[in-house]
Structure 1
Amino acid sequence: MQPIVMPPNIIDHFYLGGERIAELRGVDMPSPRRPEEWLAATNFRAGEPDVGPSRTESGVLLRDLIADDPIAWLGTADGPTGDNGILVKLLDPGQRLPVHVHPDRAFATSHLNCPYGKTEAWFVLATSGDEPSVWLGFSQDVDPDELSARVEAQDSEWMLARMNRIQVKPGDGILVPAGSAHAIGEGVFVAEVQEPSDFSILLEWSITTATRDESHLDLGMPLALSATNHHATTAEDLAVLVMHTDPASTDGAPQRLLPAGADPFFRLDLLAPAPGAGPALPAGFAVGVVFAGHGEIRSDSGDPVEVERGQVFAIPAAYGDWSVTGEVQFLACRPGAGWPESLSAVVP
């Protein structure tokens, strides 16, 4: 069973952006609000089941292929039907994203009938502007009642002033724990890996086309806001949430791009081979993104597959242990360690 090329799956959204996605993927930009692409996705946007799931070049939904043969695609039949265990996106904001929060697994299990929360992480591919930045967590404890009042007032200045602003550059990997208030700044082009859900609670909707009624997952704002971590994310906390890898580096072995705290939720590695053979990634489902160069995916269990910049691949477990060769920079995105058995560990 071979890796398959995934056609573009670019999503219209409530914020501006998308030009660098269009350039990378070789497609037109028919709207100024196409800032996201969902890559080899098996889940859908909250409340919109037709938006998000990826189709193959033949038009078949990837989730249907996985549901029909989970052992070949995933190496296990123990996960939710048709679920690949990860959501990978390209995000190219042409404006600052709104301040928002994602629920953790316990909250999602209790209130959203889903075993997944939405812990996520960003790997910065490119930046533009004078001070490209992201915001992650509150820099001081925030009173829940005051936060609720500031959300109702849409007091963006108050929220941002109490958050950790981090200037970023290509190669930065940032883990965003569920519950942490966060935002991505204009011009920060990232590959995002996350739990496969689309649960976003908007603390700030006024800078987008969204409304208050679309901001609380139909839970009511008081309950939705209870998913927020109101405690400070300290400098010590940030030190274990942020790391840097030279995106132009080469190595025979896969290079970790995210802090170790990401491992239970997802894994992200850079495959940029130095001359000579290196260890392969083990068999299992993966999403591959070629963001520079050209080369081949190779496995002892299948034929080599040529790759070039801008392509996205769904790589099945049945392809076996695999590696890449050539002058290429290849992102390998995989479900978390222990998935899907780890889902049963959630206690609401």
Structure 2
Amino acid sequence: MRPVRLAPNLIDHFYAGGSRIAALRGIETTSARQPEEWIAATVARAGQWPVGLAGTADGHVLRDLVVADPEAWTGSHGDGDTGLLLKLLDAGQRLPVHVHPDRRFAQSHLDCPYGKTEAWLVLEAEPGAAVHLGWTADVDPKELERRRDDQDGAWMLRHMHRVPVARGDGILVPAGTVHAIGAGILVAEVQEPTDFSILLEWSVTTSGREDAHLGLGFETAMPAVCTAALEDTAVEALIRRTDLTARSGDPLPTLPAAANPFFRLHLLAPSGTSRPLEAGFAAVLVLSGSGRLRGAGASLDVAAGDTVAVPAAFGDWAVEGDCAALVARPGTTWPPEGRTS
């Protein structure tokens, strides 16, 4: 079974961006507010089905293919679940301060085995660009509620770590951790396959308070928000730096090892042929060059800007040629406890 090429899957959103995605992918945007592309997505945007679902270049919905043959696509039984979501995100403006719930909260309150731990691999960053991640000191929950109700985003940002970023920085964002991506940054974002967000700062979006708490009410939602300090050493432990121009026969991990239970994101950039990756579902983004994906008795030619979904039935597979590709795969705990088959 061969991998399939994917069609462009740009998402209209409240925030500006998209030109960096278009340049990387060799595609066109239709507005100045298409700052995300969902790659190999078999989940949709919250409350907007089927927006977000990825399509193949020949016109099929990827989720439909996975549902029809989950064993071939994922090596498991399931209902279209592939264990991950890969995005391109082009922040043309600062994103709001927000938080994602963890798996325990999602299982208890959202009837879902996944939370939304995520990670960002910086592909481009303007000079001085930064992200905000975690509290610099313990925050009183009542004070946070007041600042949230007052929509005091400036206060929130002052109490968060400002982390300057550069190309090749891989940053893990554990569920529960307050965060905001700054303007002028293009990232490949890999995450658990959900669209769960608790907005602490909705005033910079097109959403309102009623959209900010996952439909649960803030009394129920706010316990998902960690208010403890994230120490400087803990922030540094969430970052892995990779030279995205490096050439290696081995798959290069781009994220801290703590991401592995949730998802894996490797750079494959061989001078010839890479060491094979084990069989399993994968989402691929070709960053540069040209080459081919070679698996069990089949291959697929690829070039810069291509996006591809790789089925488990492709077998163990490698990248050949003069190209560099990002490969996102489910984490080591997939399928998660509580997932229905």
The alignment's TM-score, normalised by the length of structure 2, stands at 0.97
CA distance in 1, matches of 2:239, 2:165: 10
Equivalent residue number for residue 99 of structure 1? 97
Checking the alignment, whether the CA contact within 8 Å between 2:268 and 2:274 is kept in structure 1 is: no
Q: Residue 316 of structure 2 is aligned with which of 297, 315, 321?
A: 321
Q: Does 1:242 pair with 2:239? A: yes
Equivalent residue number for residue 210 of structure 1? 207
CA distance in 2, matches of 1:51, 1:83: 16
Equivalent residue number for residue 25 of structure 1? 25
CA distance in 2, matches of 1:59, 1:201: 34
Equivalent residue number for residue 83 of structure 2? 85
Report the residue type matching 2:337 in the other structure: L
Checking the alignment, whether the CA contact within 8 Å between 1:63 and 1:84 is kept in structure 2 is: no
Report the residue type matching 2:324 in the other structure: Q
CA shift at 1:215, angstroms?
1.2
Q: Does 1:11 pair with 2:11? A: yes
CA distance in 1, matches of 2:202, 2:191: 22
Equivalent residue number for residue 148 of structure 1? 145
Alpha-carbon deviations, 1:123-176, whole Å to 9, x = none?
000112x31101111111001111011011011110000001100000000000
CA shift at 1:9, angstroms?
0.6
Equivalent residue number for residue 285 of structure 1? 281
Percent identity, aligned pairs only? Answer: 53
Q: Does 1:272 pair with 2:264? A: no
Q: Residue 176 of structure 1 is aligned with which of 173, 176, 180?
A: 173
CA distance in 1, matches of 2:182, 2:112: 29
SS state at 2:322 partner: strand
Q: Residue 337 of structure 1 is aligned with which of 306, 317, 332?
A: 332
SS state at 1:290 partner: strand
Checking the alignment, whether the CA contact within 8 Å between 2:39 and 2:283 is kept in structure 1 is: yes
Residues 89-238 of structure 1: pairs in structure 2 closer than 5 A: 89-128=87-126, 130-238=127-235
Alignment size in residue pairs: 340
Q: Does 1:307 pair with 2:297? A: no
CA shift at 1:222, angstroms?
2.4
Equivalent residue number for residue 73 of structure 1? 73
5+ residue gaps in structure 2?
none
CA distance in 2, matches of 1:202, 1:302: 48
CA distance in 2, matches of 1:307, 1:246: 22
Q: Residue 297 of structure 1 is aligned with which of 273, 281, 293?
A: 293
Cα RMSD of the aligned pairs, angstroms, is: 1.4
Checking the alignment, whether the CA contact within 8 Å between 1:180 and 1:228 is kept in structure 2 is: yes
Equivalent residue number for residue 41 of structure 1? 41
CA shift at 1:304, angstroms?
2.0
SS state at 1:206 partner: helix
5+ residue gaps in structure 1?
none
CA distance in 2, matches of 1:189, 1:201: 22
CA distance in 1, matches of 2:178, 2:308: 31
Equivalent residue number for residue 52 of structure 2? 52
Checking the alignment, whether the CA contact within 8 Å between 2:283 and 2:307 is kept in structure 1 is: yes
SS state at 2:203 partner: coil
Alpha-carbon deviations, 1:270-328, whole Å to 9, x = none?
000034x44210000000000111111112x1322111111100000111111111221
The alignment's TM-score, normalised by the length of structure 1, stands at 0.95
CA shift at 1:63, angstroms?
1.1
CA shift at 1:178, angstroms?
0.1
CA distance in 2, matches of 1:196, 1:256: 20
Report the residue type matching 2:6 in the other structure: M
Checking the alignment, whether the CA contact within 8 Å between 1:88 and 1:193 is kept in structure 2 is: yes
Checking the alignment, whether the CA contact within 8 Å between 2:274 and 2:319 is kept in structure 1 is: no
Checking the alignment, whether the CA contact within 8 Å between 1:115 and 1:343 is kept in structure 2 is: yes
CA distance in 2, matches of 1:278, 1:158: 48
CA shift at 1:74, angstroms?
0.6
CA distance in 2, matches of 1:86, 1:23: 25
CA distance in 1, matches of 2:37, 2:261: 24
CA shift at 1:28, angstroms?
2.2
Checking the alignment, whether the CA contact within 8 Å between 2:63 and 2:80 is kept in structure 1 is: yes
